[in-house]
Amino acid sequence: MQIRELKIPDSYEITPKQFGDDRGLFLEAYRFDRLEEATGRSIKLAQVNTSVSKRGSVRGIHFADVPPSQAKYVMCPRGAVLDFVIDIRVGSPTFGQWDSVLLDDVDRRAIFISEGLGHCFVALTDDATVTYLVNDVYRPDREHGINPLDPEIGLVFPEEAGTPLLSPKDTEAPGLAEAAAAGLLPTWEAARAYYDSLKGN
């Protein structure tokens, strides 16, 4: 398993080693100890989510109040998605920037996204199945969104995704500047303090 930090601090790409034979293959999709070695913390599993999306479907940009928010360990066991992490932490050196990882059923990579970061993906195939492990249950009163088509963020969707298909909730979500002005966004200081409180636990 190889783990590398992305351009956005506190987000990581995980590439598992796959072992194949004439029966198929085997891989370790998640290792708490390897994640802890790379990040200083692991996931205390609270909920597992799965979505199935048609090609072009966009889910996000979603985030939750810090603390506790949700850390996410995201995989795509079927099909392919381009997964985005967006830095929405006010005061962060990479505020407003993003990075992406191709998640598919070939390389079987995963992405780990710390609390307070924005998360979004676009399905590149029909029946793209995404599973993510999270360290807190869904709390609708603490959940927020940012419009994934906000030009200030400038997410780039591959041509193979086709026309973006958004839910009404994501279509009506505010842009980054509007969310910041409304005081919805987490701060860099609060997020970092929360990460520090999780280390060694």
Active site residues: 62, 132
β-partners of residue 144 are 63
Reference 18, options 99, 122, 143, 109; nearest CA is 109
Which residues contact residue 178 at a Cβ distance below 8 angstroms, ignoring those fewer than 6 apart? none
What's the burial of 19, exposed, middle or buried (CB within 10 Å: 0-12/13-18/19+)? exposed
Reference 152, options 110, 98, 100, 200; nearest CA is 98
Q: What are phi and psi of 108, to 5 degrees?
A: 55, 40
Q: What are phi and psi of 64, to 5 degrees?
A: -135, 160
